[in-house]
């Protein structure tokens, strides 16, 4: 089945949150994913969005990071895990 990359829409928020939690689990740090679907909605789909999201969809399902491997991407040894939390996370999620 074909995988399609497209801009995320508000209806994707629950699936995006599910994928973020799965990624955290994969890294052994699921508890680091402390945001909620409501926070994602506020950050991405408010009047002044704080970022953009591209999702990969196969049929009716949003799929995870294996999408990148299918494009030929490889994990890089210099890859670092970045985490935003606390006041910086709150500021990111605050409109305006």
Class for the domain spanning 3-93: alpha beta
Q: What is the pLDDT of residue 46?
A: 81
Q: How far apart are CA 92 and CA 69, in angstroms?
A: 29
Cβ atoms within 10 A of the Cβ of 93, count? 19
Q: How far apart are CA 59 and CA 33, in angstroms?
A: 26
Q: How far apart are CA 28 and CA 55, in angstroms?
A: 23
pLDDT at 20 over 80: yes
Q: Taking Cα atoms as reference points, which of 19, 6, 3 lies closest to residue 58?
A: 3
Q: What is the pLDDT of residue 11?
A: 93
Q: What is the pLDDT of residues 31-83, one digit of tens each?
A: 888 889 999 898 888 887 777 778 888 888 887 555 655 555 566 666 666 66
| Contacts (Cβ under 8 Å, ≥6 apart) of 36 | 17
Q: Look at the block and give the residue holding tokens 């926070």.
A: 39
Q: What is the pLDDT of residue 58?
A: 86
Which sequence spans correspond to the domains of the chain? 3-93
Question: Is the pTM here over 0.85, yes or no?
Answer: no
């Amino acid at each position: 089945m074909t995988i399609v990359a497209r801009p995320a829409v508000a209806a994707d928020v629950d699936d995006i949150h599910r994928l973020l939690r799965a990624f955290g689990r994969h890294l052994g740090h699921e508890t680091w994913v402390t945001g909620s679907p409501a926070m994602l909605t506020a950050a991405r789909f408010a009047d002044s969005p704080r970022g953009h999201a591209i999702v990969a969809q196969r049929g009716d399902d949003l799929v995870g990071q294996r999408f990148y491997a299918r494009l030929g991407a490889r994990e890089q040894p210099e890859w670092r895990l970045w985490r935003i939390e606390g006041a910086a996370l709150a500021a990111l999620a605050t409109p305006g």
